[in-house]
Amino acid sequence: MIIVLESDVPVGSSVALLDAARAAGRAARSMPDGHGGLVVTVDGNLPDDVLAVPGIRTVERSHKPYPLASAEHRAQTVVTVGDVEIGGGRPVVMAGPCSIEGRDSLLRAAHAVRAAGADILRGGAFKPRTSPYSFQGLGEEGLRYLAEAREQTGMPVITEVMEPEQVDLVCEYADILQIGTRNMSNFPLLRRVGEARKPVLLKRGMSARVDEWLMSAEYVMAGGNHQVILCERGIRGFDPATRFTLDLTVVPLLRQLTHLPIIIDPSHGTGIRSLVGPMALAGVVAGADGIFIEAEPNPERATSDAAQTIDPETLRDIVARTRMLSQAMSAPLVPVVAAVPAPEWELSLAAAD
């Protein structure tokens, strides 16, 4: 059940609804609707007499199975990290190395992507790898380097958390918690980051349906953390020509289904360095709120994901073009009336006169 309350509703109304739901043994929670009012969601339905409190605008007993993540009765969510707004209309660029390999290399990369126009620094301290023998990250040592890079550049930082037991540690250092594709359905982890008060970037599972993805977002939001950012990072297809298939159709689709901001990851979505730029721009045209890119000064020497990592010069070009595209798309449309030549028979009549 979704109950929408007016902006001037008495505080007691929402409290009464939540208390009534809990008394009936049903979980309930509330969140702002973005218009000054409140939305109360209940796991199940409440009797009509409970709904007699003042200030109720609408009641829906039938709705999508992800009521908190759903776009129903919500304004677009803007997630603010420092002075960066994700979902505020300006495409946000998150860039940096796939994995943190050392202090000096990370600091060089951080300053380079900052100079190229990136807003947020990315870098993996804990790395989930397909092979147990591949580089797994530096752990807390990498987190310390990430925090130092933030101090030097002023950029907020994002890094992946892989286990519920890591959440408190990563929260000490990171500004945004990243949930990777392999953990999209790690429900204990989703519940744990739902208790954290840090924004969460939730990557789509490589074989996940859109509704499954949004239900994973619901797990986080049901825990009380409404600062969720969705990240399309490519899904598995049948063609091995690219590492994954970057599903850009999901961007305008999600605009209809959810109020959460969405960014795209053209690095993992293609796996090919030369395709990162074109797909980043295509994602912005599709309506994405930002891009998530692997970039560092010496991409060929990267320990992980070298083939899809770009250099700072390429990143600078992508940033500039995304800004221009965003401005062009937000500018008012000016009708263009083409001059159509008169038909030959009209010209003949005019000549005869």
- Neighbour count for residue 111 (Cβ, 10 Å): 17
What global pTM score does this model have?
0.86
Query: Order of strands, edge to edge, in the sheet holding 28-32?
Result: 28-32, 38-42, 2-5, 56-60
Q: Report the alpha-carbon distance of residue 69 to residue 221 in Å, rounded.
A: 7
Comparing CA positions, the residue from 209, 205, 158 lying closest to residue 180 is: 205
- What is the longest distance spanned by two Cα atoms in the chain? 91
- CATH number for 79-330 (one of 3.30.390.30, 3.30.1200.10, 3.20.20.70, 3.40.190.10): it is 3.20.20.70
Residue 86 belongs to what H/E stretch?
Answer: strand 84-86
Q: pLDDT tens digits, the chain, 353 residues: what are they? A: 888 888 888 888 888 999 999 888 888 888 888 778 888 888 888 888 888 888 888 888 867 889 899 998 788 999 999 999 999 999 999 999 999 999 999 999 999 999 999 999 999 998 776 677 566 678 999 999 999 999 999 999 999 999 999 999 999 999 999 999 999 999 999 999 999 989 999 999 999 999 999 999 999 998 889 999 999 999 999 999 999 999 999 999 999 999 999 999 999 999 999 999 999 999 999 999 999 999 999 999 888 899 999 999 999 999 999 999 988 888 887 776 666 665 665 556 556 55
Q: 28-32 and 176-179: which strand pairing?
A: unpaired
Of 270, 281, 350, 271, nearest in space to 314 by CA:
281
Domain boundary assignment for the chain: 2-60, 79-330
